[in-house]
Amino acid sequence: MRTLMLATRGALAALAVGCAEPAMTTPESAPADTDNALLTDWTGPFGGVPAFDRMNLDALEPALEAGMAAQLDEIDIIAANPDAPSFENTIVALERSGRALSRVSTYYGIWSSNVSTPEFREIQRAMAPRLAEFDSTIRQNEALFERIRAVYESEDLTTLRPDQQRLVQLVYDGFARNGATLDGDAKTRYAEIEQRLAELHTTFSNNVLADEEGYVTYLSADQLDGLPPSFVQAAAAAATARDREGEYAITNTRSSMDPFLAFSTERDLREQVWRTYYARGDNGDERDNNATIAEILSLRHERVGLLGYDDYATWRLENRMAKTPAQALELMEAVWPAALARVEEEVVAMQAIADAEGAGITVAPWDYRFYAEKVRQSTYDLDSDEVKQYLQLDRLREGVFFVAGELFDFAFREIADGSVPVFHEDVSVWEVTRRSTGAHIGVWYLDPYARPGKRSGAWASSYRSHELIDGQEVTVLGSNNSNFIKPAPGEPVLVSWDDAETFFHEFGHALHYFSSTVDYPTLNGGVRDYTEFQSQLLERWLLTDEVIDGYLRHHETGERMPDELVARIKSAATFNQGFITTEYLACALVDMRFHTSDPDGLDADRFERETLTDLGMPDEIVMRHRSPHFGHIFSSEGYSAGYYGYMWADVLTADAAEAFAEAPDGFYDKELASKLVEHLFAARNAVDPAEAYRAFRGRDATIDALMRDRGFPVP
């Protein structure tokens, strides 16, 4: 999940804001400080692996400083090269720079996302502006940029391979669109803004994490009515881990909040848990993010103004598939009315059940999941807890391995001998090989459980991506990270249907890493409104007969999920799409409004409220990510003015899924799977996304499949 940027800049973005995907690394020479484990070449099996067992926080700041110094020396050599600029001595040399810093960024990303501590966050706060300054130093190196420009404008460019031409374009854009063309005071101010934004992104992220760690709702045994046994056991384990033996902890994360709101009969407690979760970053204390949002938006607007753009979104979307804010809004506004109409229908059905039960309430946001579950059961005879009995995490993992084998020719072998170090005892490791030949591909890490210091949600990370070094392929290192509630000892991990889909989704990102055939690090990036497509598509294999037969089995009896239960799941496929689509689209629309409006004097809380009112947001639903904890757009710039990208990608997903549904052998059609891997996974960002999709499908995607997929009227 990277934007179009240099690999070196990707490394800095990961470091400065703690994103989950540090830049690509390969084992090459380290700086002089070889005693610092964070800098040294990776050793051990598979071409070397991160020394996660030697992570020492005291070594982090010196490692960052040494890594930056080493890369600046490399940049100076490239910029001062007396030979005429060429693809090899400028573009490829730049691709190969910064190896030591990239190694450090892997550890930095782990501390930031998986095992954060107050001590680390102090280092993060101190280093964020330094890293941004370093980033600006490279991008504002006039001699370096002139060499890049010379290659970009050279007549020799047409003699390069298409992927090499695209690399030159991306490298040039990465500099030109980020201040390299500025002069004098404008260049200085641009660098100042970058440094301040790095500080603010870090502050925003750490404020949210602190509220997730600091607010826990503890229950007693008489407050558990309606909660599934597996959830109760996990809540008891979470309380015990926090030295509250005999109580039950509802942590301030989605994986804990969602099922509690769906099943707890204690309405007052539902409201309490709901308010605690949606108030993250919005509690009027020292961790309140509203003023931080206003400053972020103001600085982003000022920065793109220096480059001549009217607003941040126009700058951001220029090199995305959508191209302009207007085209992104056109898609969202085509779906929004249908989503609102469906919400109205859903609320009527829920209110009818509440009235029939004599609840004496008007459905509120903390009731939506609870009564939606009742509607699901009454309309589709579908009980979420019944479905969970067939969704055991270990079997789901084997299910994604099966799909990877059938479509991608990958095989997975667990590495349990301790030869590959891990950063936490919960992490497990697998070798990835070519199933047909046994050829080594890479190493996959799985970090499944929630814990203090780990950011919420689910994500994929790349510790080292595919490239060629002196004609040799580099071993890929990738990971998946989730926040499932760790069960009591000996108990299975049972997950919801949504969580199972998310598990397949994030594994799709990992398959994207392992499928890569590109030669250069930057080409392992992606266009934001396209990179979610491949992972969203993989979700569709969860409900294929082959996965159901082999892996959706009862955790106690081992029996296959019954056909009639599968039929009920399929018939309910469009259930609750009003809620799902509206809570997502509200975020995407507010994001776009934030980044197309004049931020002068902006009050973030009022802006959110007024925008939602203007959109006609239903009272019974809130944004999936309220602004004060909307990390996608405010803890970094990864999804800023780009949250719409999930829906843009879903247009491609629905269209591609129909291609598989129509194929002779369905979702396991070998010919179509081969085209999928070749054009949509292996090529990464070496091919323009629109061209890649046309090569796969034979035409452009349309919105029709998306509307059919969600049960909405086709426009």
Task: Tell me which residues are annotated as active site.
Answer: 506
CA distance 421 to 686: 32
Torsions phi, psi for 305 (to 5 deg): -65, -35
Residue tagged 């590495």 (tokens): 415
CA distances from 360 to 268, 352, 355, 619 (A): 14, 11, 7, 18
What is the signed CA dihedral for 543, 544, 546, 552, rounded to 10 degrees? Answer: 10
DSSP H helices in 357-496: 368-380, 384-388, 393-408
Residue 571 makes CB contacts below 8 A (sequence gap 6+) with 380
Residue tagged 């796969």 (tokens): 696
Torsions phi, psi for 49 (to 5 deg): -130, 155
CA distance 263 to 52: 39
Report the candidate in 250, 255, 259, 253 with the shortest Cα–Cα distance to residue 277.
Answer: 253
Q: What share of the chain is helix, strand, coil (3-state, %, to 5)?
A: 60, 5, 35
Question: What are residue 392's DSSP bridge partners?
Answer: 494
Instruction: Output the six-digit token pair for 557.
Output: 């009896």
- The answer to whether residues 459 and 506 touch, using CB atoms and an 8 Å cutoff, is yes
Buried b (16+ CB within 10 A) or exposed e, 147-170: bbbebbebeeeeebeebbebbbeb
- The answer to whether residues 18 and 202 touch, using CB atoms and an 8 Å cutoff, is yes
User: How many other C-beta atoms are found inside a 10 Å radius of the C-beta of residue 662?
Assistant: 10
CA distance 39 to 62: 9
Residue 19 makes CB contacts below 8 A (sequence gap 6+) with 13, 109, 112, 113, 635, 636, 638
Residue 483 makes CB contacts below 8 A (sequence gap 6+) with 253, 254, 255, 449, 450, 454, 456, 457, 458
- The answer to whether residues 19 and 638 touch, using CB atoms and an 8 Å cutoff, is yes
Contacts 24+ apart (CB under 8 A), 500-505: 500/391, 500/396, 500/542, 501/539, 501/542, 502/458, 503/393, 503/396, 503/397, 503/400, 503/458, 504/396, 504/399, 504/400, 504/403, 504/538, 504/539, 504/541, 504/542, 505/458, 505/535, 505/536, 505/538, 505/539
**Strand runs (DSSP E) across 186-337, as ranges?**
217-219, 248-250
Report the candidate in 325, 207, 121, 117 with the shortest Cα–Cα distance to residue 627.
Answer: 207
Question: CA 84: distance to chain centroid?
Answer: 41
CA distance 307 to 305: 5
- The DSSP annotation for 154-175 comes to -GGGGGS-HHHHHHHHHHHHHH
Report the candidate in 200, 304, 114 with the shortest Cα–Cα distance to residue 634.
Answer: 200
Residue 622 makes CB contacts below 8 A (sequence gap 6+) with 278, 365, 583, 586
477 three-class SS: strand
- The answer to whether residues 185 and 158 touch, using CB atoms and an 8 Å cutoff, is no
- Which contiguous run of DSSP H or E holds residue 353? helix 325-356
Residue tagged 């301790």 (tokens): 418
Report the candidate in 86, 110, 73, 99 with the shortest Cα–Cα distance to residue 7.
Answer: 99
285 three-class SS: coil
